[in-house]
Amino acid sequence: MTILTTPAGIATGAADALRKRPGADVAGSAFKWLLIGATVFATGFLAVLLAVMIVDGWDVLSGNLWYFLTHGFSQRSAGEAGVWQGIIGSLQVALVTGVFAVPTGVATAIYLVEYAQGNRFARIVELNIRNLAGVPSIVYGLLGLAVFAQTLRGFSGGTTAIAGGMTLAAMVLPIVVITSVEALKAVPDSLREAAYGVGATKWEVLSRQVLPAALSTILTGTVLALARALGEAAPLILVGAATGFMSFGDANMFETFTGPYTALPVLIFNFARQPGADWGVNAAAASVIILVLVLAVNGLAIYLRNRFERQW
């Protein structure tokens, strides 16, 4: 190196000094692989979970899946027990949940976004929704037991699918509100302004422009909320799903809503509680069924969201 250097020479020297040496960054790549490991662990356990359940439940899944799906619970022996009541009960509960949670949740979101941005009542409602979202599911079971099953006995008929569905509706309400608020906020104001500009009333702007634009996202949130309800057992145990088993007999469709009921996750819990390996097979097989159901519903919702997500 000479003392008198050209600017180009200085630059080359500096670049040499700063150049990364290949293979020197051991800590860097170790860290990266550690992160990849954590990510694989975080997402990969689902595969392990499914595999274990399929292996454990294989006797039922391969041999008499149809019998398992179409027969009711039996206290006598594991081989005679099926999940039919659980599937029907879960569908009924989910239906009631949807009927109560979706209109209330979407309407609340509309109020928060379109009518009350930032006023004191809206702030109370928002805080309330955030707190409700964190309440443990079993506490909703107490609400269901004391209010929906006992106080409102005249309407729900006691510990029935209606009471269970209302309980889960209260539980998923925050999810419906939060996803609907996001969907409505994503609709650009230019759309609203254009509608007002041609003389539409607030209701017309909402019903003809904003809601249709936000509909697919709201639907996705609703489906995700119902999927959450589909897998939930804890609140239903308090609202009588554990002890009730439907007897179809000559009951018509409406009567099954107001009689004893059970749900698929509660049924899995019942299988898991019985001593003996053959009940374990049932629990695993029913777990596979509920996993496939819940993952399919969720996957569909996520796919639809990505498919119909609109960039404004």
Partner 1 sequence: MSQDSSNLSAADLRTSAGRRAWSAGARWVFALAAVATVLVSALIIWTVASGAWTFISQVPFDSLTEIGWFPRRGLFDLSTLLVNSVQISVIAMLVAVPSGFGAAIYLSEYAHPRVRKVMKPALELLASVPSVVLGVFAISFITPSILTSFFHEINFFNKLAAGIAVGLLVIPLIASISEDALRAVPLALREASSGLGARKVTTSIRVVLPAAMSGLMAAVIVGFSRAIGETMVVTIASGGGDTSLFNLALTESGGTFTSAMAALGLGTDQVAGNNLAFQSLYFLGALLFVITLVLNMLGDLIVRRLRNKY
Is residue 194 a contact residue for partner 1 (CB under 8 A)? Answer: no
Q: How far is the CB of 270 from partner 1 (least distance, A)?
A: 10
Q: How far is the CB of 252 from partner 1 (least distance, A)?
A: 26
User: Looking at 6-14, 60-68, 183-191, 272-280, which segment touches partner 1 (CB under 8 A)?
Assistant: 272-280
Structure tokens at 182: 């996001």
Q: How many CA atoms lie within 13 A of 162 on its CB side?
A: 18
Q: How far is 297 from 299, CA to CA, in rounded Å?
A: 6
Nearer to partner 1, 6 or 260 (CB): 260
Is residue 217 a contact residue for partner 1 (CB under 8 A)? Answer: no
Beta-carbon count within 10 A of 307 CB: 9
Sign, CA dihedral 179-184-185-187, equals positive
Residue window 73-92: x/- pattern of binding to partner 1, with contact defined by CB under 8 A: --------------------
* 3-state DSSP assignment of residue 187: coil
User: Looking at 59-67, 69-77, 81-89, 230-238, which segment touches partner 1 (CB under 8 A)?
Assistant: 230-238
Q: How far is the CB of 196 from partner 1 (least distance, A)?
A: 11
Residue window 109-128: x/- pattern of binding to partner 1, with contact defined by CB under 8 A: -xxx-xxx----xx-xx--x
Are 138 and 234 in contact, with CB atoms under 8 Å apart? yes
Structure tokens at 147: 């209010």
Q: Is 48 left (phi over 0), alpha (psi -120 to 50) or beta?
A: alpha
Is residue 32 a contact residue for partner 1 (CB under 8 A)? Answer: yes
- Binders of partner 1 in range 131-170 (CB under 8 A): 131-143, 145-147, 170
